[in-house]
A and B are shown apart, each in its own frame.
Chain A
Amino acid sequence: MSEFAGMEELLQDFLLESSELLSDVDNKLVELEKRPNDKALLNDIFRGFHTIKGGAGFLNAAPMVTLCHRTENLFDKLRNGELPLNPGLMDTILDATGQVREMFGRMGQGLMPASAPQALLSALDNALAGGAAAPVAPTAAPTAPAVTTPTPAPAPAAATSGAQDPDWQQLYGAVTGQTPPAAPAPAAQAVQVAQAVAITQPVPPSPAQPAAQRSAPAKQAAASAPAPVENTIRIDTHRLDQVLNLSGEIGLTKNRLTTLRTEILQGNAEAHTLRSLDEAISQLDLLVGDLQNAVMKTRMQPIGRLFQKYPRLARDLARQLGKEVELVITGEETELDKTMIEDLNDPLVHLVRNAVDHGVEPTEERIAAGKEAQSQVLLSAEQVGDHIVISITDDGRGMSAEALRRKAIEKGLIDAETANSLDEKQSLQLIFLPGFSTKDQISSVSGRGVGMDVVRTNIQKLNGRIDINSIPGEGTRISISLPLTLAILPVLVVRVCNQPFAVPLAMVREIIPIEQASMQEVSGKPTIVVRDEILPLRTLSGLLGWEPTQKPSFGVLMQSAEKSFILAVDSFVGRDDVVIKPLENIRPRGVAGATLSGDGAVVLVLDMEDLLKPQEANAQASRSLELLAL
């Protein structure tokens, strides 16, 4: 049951567009803290609330209209210099945006938003009343930007237009009487009518609210508000035209093929007919490739849409923790598949919070260490080849490998012997173990140690990798590498036991021949040394639980997240771009889905993570070891 019956489409549009607008407002607010007198910023924020109010009015969302209206009036006073911006007021304003976002969340579920907390409305009223009283005498109503507020409780904002209507008609008559429309109306007449029109209402003063009380609830709301569900997408018409154009051309090529087929079926297989056939198929090949690309592009969205939520997040968190943090964003124009952008939100929120909470040290500690009091957290995105690399870099205290190892032993995640065998890089990977949390005191902010392993799992679901670098005292850098899209997966097709299998190309580093002489046994397991790196050797047939039909002759050097290993196969077919079809009803271990090869054969696409998971029997004992050793 939607409370917006008959307006669902309008609601979707409104939520999509307004959410973007609000994120933009949020960012501008963070900017505004740095440049409180920037007229252009104040204007933009004013317009943001104004626009949201206008749309909300048509949806009869009175609570949102009321809230936006007051906030808008506040910004009107701010931009006119009638009110100074102070930190307390800033908190109130940020609470208001949090509240609006919360309302979007409710509306996204088809529910009419509840009224904003009275404390927040009163705080806004106080600010408005305070501003009006100070610089402008209350009696100077005609010159002051007196506001017709729908503030009194019984009359919701939506009623304003009705009340104004008849008065406008008088004014209308007065002015439109002058036929050349540009001619100004005589001043006296206008003023006379104006008095009839105006229903100015001084904002009623409200009892003062303690600052803490008014900012606390809404802050919570800003963090927990559910994002409105987005099931529509906005596409550049140019990109859509390209899809249309290509599908048209494919249609033409198909026609040509049909004609050629008829000719060939009628026995005309002359050289030039076959050459035409060859040309047509080559062209189709090109066009289909282009079409796939073009369709993929329609799903691409700039990652800035995601990034723009974080400066506010970092700012609020830093304030809460008493730290000074600036979140610097670069590469926001980098484009990524829409579904990936959505799925990246949770991991990125977690990483940004981690950087501010755990990475950045308290201000005193920074000063003691000779660093700037304000820390910088850099969030960047860039396209590297066919991958997108997102990284979060802080200039905080960094992580000590020794401390991580100690912590992991304390938590019983690894034993001392394993710990000793870990190098610096492997020690950093410990934070990805389930149940690992580096902070002794659990802060309400960064969660309860359910963090990094979930982050890594989420990134891996997107066929991505997460890497970590840290220098004690200098900072930490976490980078995420993702494929451009999930729709088309580049794979390497290998053969084992006379059956083809596809493995994600993203994991393949190189292919090496396997010679018996180069194999070494390390603690009972076969390994091969590749450029001074000792890599475990796993046979695909072994992983699948099949009897090998021949000695493997090629090794595929695979890397997933932090693990590297060599996958031994009988031979390989080559690389291919495939579309994975999930298997229905059955889910064999280690199989992500199936695809068709060029000759129409079914090829299973392997899920290496799943395949590498230890079998039930030796699972518990070897899990953490396996995770690190592989």
Chain B
Amino acid sequence: MADKNTRFLIVDDFSTMRRIVRNLLKELGFTNVDEAEDGQVALHKLKNQPFDFIVSDWNMPNMTGIELLKAVRADPQLRHLPFLMITAEARRENIIEAATSGASGYIVKPFTAVTLEEKLNKIFQVMGK
């Protein structure tokens, strides 16, 4: 099962949303969490500190979630990191874009801790293989 020390990076420009995700992760027992307010800040943190898991919003100023995803997948140091895209964009072309860009999962707002757990477990399963 998932290591509760998994170090998460939550990326969202809306601090309320970061707090929501942080609380949901806490409910699931994950407390090793850091935050970034957009893709640029996230990328900077990712390059300078070790993280195990990225949970990112899609729509952000400066650098969007999808741009961050592409940047992460293009970086040999970071490309292995699981990347869960969180967004309200429930459009199929967005989902395809996320998937083809290498997202490990996609979750649509609003969601509950249970849904989040399902998504995380699925990703951990794939990683464990």
Q: Does B17 contact A (CB under 8 A)?
A: yes
Interface contact B96-A181, CB-CB below 8 Å:
no
Is the contact region of chain B dominated by helix, strand, or loop, or is it mixed? Answer: mixed
Q: Which of these, A17, A183, A184, contacts B16 with CB under 8 Å? A: A17
Interface contact B88-A171, CB-CB below 8 Å:
no
Interface contact A181-B17, CB-CB below 8 Å:
no
Interface contact A148-B17, CB-CB below 8 Å:
no
- A-contacting residues, B5-42, CB 8 Å: 13-17, 19-20, 23
Say how far A547's CB is from chain B's closest CB, in angstroms.
63
A18 to B15, CA, bound (A): 10
Interface contact A176-B126, CB-CB below 8 Å:
yes
Say how far B95's CB is from chain A's closest CB, in angstroms.
6
- B-contacting residues, A136-170, CB 8 Å: 145-148, 158, 160-161, 164-165, 168-169
A174 to B74, CA, bound (A): 21
Q: Given contacts A190-B96, A197-B92, is CB(A172)–CB(B14) below 8 Å?
A: no
List the A side residues contacting B14 at CB < 8 Å.
17, 21, 51, 54-55
Q: Which of these, B23, B87, B100, B108, contacts A175 with CB under 8 Å? A: B100
Q: Does B99 contact A (CB under 8 A)?
A: yes
Q: Does A14 contact B (CB under 8 A)?
A: yes
Q: Which of these, B90, B105, B110, contacts A164 with CB under 8 Å? A: B90
- B-contacting residues, A332-352, CB 8 Å: none
Interface extent on A, as a size class?
A: 35 or more
Q: Given contacts A50-B59, A172-B106, is CB(A146)–CB(B91) below 8 Å?
A: yes
Mask, B67-82, CB within 8 Å of A = 1, is: 0000001100001000
Q: Does B3 contact A (CB under 8 A)?
A: no
List the A side residues contacting B95 at CB < 8 Å.
164, 168, 171, 194, 197
Interface contact B108-A10, CB-CB below 8 Å:
no
List the B side residues contacting A165 at CB < 8 Å.
108, 115
Which positions in B face A, CB cutoff 8 Å? 13-17, 19-20, 23, 57, 59-61, 73-74, 79, 83, 87-88, 90-93, 95-96, 99-102, 104-111, 115, 122, 126
A-B contact pairs, 18 of them (CB 8 A): A10-B16, A10-B19, A10-B20, A17-B14, A50-B59, A53-B88, A58-B110, A164-B90, A168-B95, A172-B106, A172-B122, A180-B79, A181-B83, A181-B102, A183-B102, A184-B100, A190-B99, A194-B95
Apart from A57-B110, A158-B110, what are 20 other A-B pairs with CB-CB below 8 Å?
A10-B20, A13-B15, A47-B61, A55-B14, A60-B110, A147-B91, A148-B90, A148-B91, A161-B115, A164-B90, A164-B95, A171-B95, A176-B104, A180-B79, A181-B73, A181-B102, A182-B73, A185-B99, A194-B96, A198-B92
Leading 10 A-B pairs by shortest Cβ distance? A57-B110, A181-B102, A161-B108, A175-B99, A198-B92, A182-B73, A58-B110, A197-B92, A13-B16, A14-B16
